[in-house]
């Protein structure tokens, strides 16, 4: 079974007293199951970002210990810095990495928030995917007014009511806890000390002011130089290169340029590969052309689930089974869609669809990653049902507990393949688009992708149907079946589009 890994990237309002940051880091590294991957401190921002990973339980406990340590060492009444902040521990995001869903991270955020509020008497606000209110999904909204503003409005303004903890602030301020996808903290320094220019550029770049989607930006003065400080919340849909080029053009309008840039903390490898591919114009580049990637694959052939999956499938155990195989087929479909899209990009004949194909490739990569994780998630869901059936049932109380456990496990076992079916329907529609307007030399690969996606939807549907029949909540079961029918309609329509494209573009009936 795939190892469960969660990433946590807490931000602390201290970037000058390294002895304080050391103590906070020690509160994390004291947990042997947790690995501290990176620490980054900035004096001007007066802020430190620590990045660590581990299993969910260990990461959650390490985050609590770090918050507790910071609360005893950082006084917001004395804190000054360029970066907006609400508390000693300002923000604590959980990010699913492997074998963990976004829903798992949301539950972690909720548990940690409740504990911090009750045990440390720190007001806690949930944000991003864990937000309890739509207006709190955006971190900037939660942090608006900063510590000083919150001190005046908490306990007075109902909109500032925390999700957990007291309605008053202590010296540790408040803490914002949530769950989100991977984020890139990226700063661009300009060849000027005019912070007004940085603010103009930040306004042009950030989405909330009409700029690029998935970009948050501020203009600051750091180390005597104007800086555009950014969070890129989805690099697969708004790549770093696109952001940099917009900043470059806006800077030229003001008669300045880019001096240098920096990453705060860690970034997904894919984001840098995409940037290199863009600037070097490597239109036909494939990730396995990276020497280290090829070496890793060759030197550790048994290291990943994909390498052993077929052997595991044939081993005679109940898991992995049909649900995992369906997810695997969907992941292969997504891989084929990405391949066809990338074989289209850069071809003069297909210049009109090149940008759209880049978009499709990124979407397919994201779906492929989710479906690859779902291979294991389906197996875990089935195992949970079997475990529930093994619970004791000698007394009425035990029977009630067992029944409840079976029901909950069955719900998960239905919802997991239903999610897979929805993603496969998405992939089928992307496959149809690549078949209709992508590289005609790869049209049969698009056809294969559509067929695999269709198989995924119908195979996943068998698990949805069998589990829907076993739940007490018949309304929920009916809702699942209705969603499944919609996914099957979509995938059938996409499959028909591909069949039509094969006839018209390749003469295949």
Q: Is 378 a catalytic residue?
A: yes
Q: Where are the alpha helices (DSSP H) in 101-215?
A: 102-119, 139-143, 146-153, 195-205
Alpha carbon distance 497, 303 (integer Å): 38
Q: Is 235 a catalytic residue?
A: no
Which tokens is 100 given? Answer: 């963990």
What are the start-end ranges of the E strands in 104-199? 124-128, 175-179, 184-190
Q: How far is CA 334 from the centre of its chain?
A: 18
| Rg, Å, the chain Cα set | 25
Alpha carbon distance 332, 420 (integer Å): 13
C-beta of residue 200 within 8 angstroms of C-beta of residue 23 = no
**Kind and range of the H or E run holding 133:** none
Q: Which of 90, 163, 378, 426 is catalytic?
A: 378
The sheet with strand 258-264 has its strands ordered as 215-222, 225-232, 184-190, 258-264
C-beta of residue 263 within 8 angstroms of C-beta of residue 186 = yes
Backbone CA torsion sign across 131, 132, 134, 140: negative
Cα-Cα-Cα-Cα torsion 326, 328, 334, 336, nearest 10 degrees, comes to -110
Three-state DSSP class for residue 212: coil
Alpha carbon distance 86, 91 (integer Å): 8
Q: Which of 31, 83, 419, 495 is catalytic?
A: 83
Which tokens is 227 given? Answer: 């800086």
Bridge partner list, 175: 124
Helices (H) and strands (E) in the chain, counts: 15, 11
- For 233, 240, 372, 413, the CA distances from 460, given in Å and listed in that order, are 31, 36, 14, 11
Alpha carbon distance 67, 197 (integer Å): 36
C-beta of residue 236 within 8 angstroms of C-beta of residue 262 = no
Place of tokens 């840039």: 261
CB under 8 Å to 434, separation ≥6 — which residues? 337, 340, 341, 344, 357, 360, 442, 446, 449
Nearest to 276, CA basis, from 266, 260, 287: 287
Determine the straight-line distance between the first and last CA of the chain, rounded to whole angstroms. Answer: 42
> Catalytic amino acids?
83, 378
């Amino acid at each position: 079974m795939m190892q469960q890994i969660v990433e946590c990237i807490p931000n602390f309002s201290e970037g000058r007293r390294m002895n304080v940051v050391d103590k906070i880091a020690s509160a994390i590294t004291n947990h042997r199951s947790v690995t501290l991957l990176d620490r980054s401190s900035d004096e001007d921002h007066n802020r430190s970002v620590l990045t660590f990973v581990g299993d969910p339980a260990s990461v959650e406990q390490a985050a609590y210990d770090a918050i507790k340590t910071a609360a005893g060492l950082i006084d917001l009444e004395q804190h000054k810095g360029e970066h907006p902040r609400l508390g000693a521990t300002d923000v604590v995001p959980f990010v699913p990495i492997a074998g963990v869903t976004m829903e798992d991270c949301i539950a972690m955020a909720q548990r940690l928030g409740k504990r911090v509020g009750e045990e440390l008497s720190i007001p806690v606000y949930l944000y991003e995917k864990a937000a309890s209110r739509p207006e709190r999904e955006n971190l900037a909204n939660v942090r608006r007014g900063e510590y000083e503003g919150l001190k005046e409005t908490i306990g007075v303004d109902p909109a500032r009511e925390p999700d957990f903890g007291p309605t008053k602030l202590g010296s540790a301020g408040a803490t914002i806890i949530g769950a989100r996808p991977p984020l890139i903290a990226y700063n661009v320094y300009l060849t000027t000390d005019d912070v007004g220019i940085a603010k103009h550029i930040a306004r042009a770049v950030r989405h909330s002011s009409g700029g690029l989607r998935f970009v948050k930006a501020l203009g600051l003065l750091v180390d005597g130089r104007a800086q555009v400080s950014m969070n890129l919340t989805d690099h697969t849909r708004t790549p770093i290169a696109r952001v940099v080029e917009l900043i470059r053009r806006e800077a030229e309008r003001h008669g300045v340029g880019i001096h240098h840039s920096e990453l705060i903390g860690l970034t997904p490898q894919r984001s840098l590969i995409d940037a290199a591919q863009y600037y070097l114009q490597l239109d036909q580049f494939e990730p396995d052309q990276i020497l280290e990637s090829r070496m890793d694959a060759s030197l550790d052939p048994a290291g990943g689930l994909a390498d052993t999956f077929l052997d595991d499938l044939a081993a005679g155990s109940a898991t992995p089974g049909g649900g995992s195989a369906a997810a695997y087929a969907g992941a292969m479909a997504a891989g084929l869609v990405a391949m066809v899209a990338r074989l289209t990009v850069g071809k003069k004949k297909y210049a009109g669809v090149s940008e759209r194909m880049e978009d499709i490739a990124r979407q397919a990569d994201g779906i492929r990653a989710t479906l690859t994780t779902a291979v294991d998630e389906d197996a875990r869901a089935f195992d949970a049902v079997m475990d529930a059936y093994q619970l004791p049932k000698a007394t009425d109380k035990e029977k009630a507990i067992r029944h409840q456990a079976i029901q909950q496990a069955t719900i998960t076992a239905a919802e997991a393949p239903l999610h897979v079916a929805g993603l496969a329907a998405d992939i089928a529609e992307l496959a149809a688009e690549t078949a209709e307007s992508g590289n005609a030399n790869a049209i049969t690969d698009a056809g294969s992708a559509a067929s695999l996606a269709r198989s995924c939807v119908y195979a996943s549907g068998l698990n949805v149907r069998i589990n829907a029949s076993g739940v007490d909540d018949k309304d929920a079961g009916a809702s699942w079946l209705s969603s499944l029918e919609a996914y099957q309609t979509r995938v059938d329509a996409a499959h028909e589009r591909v069949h039509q494209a094969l006839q018209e573009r390749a003469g295949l009936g």
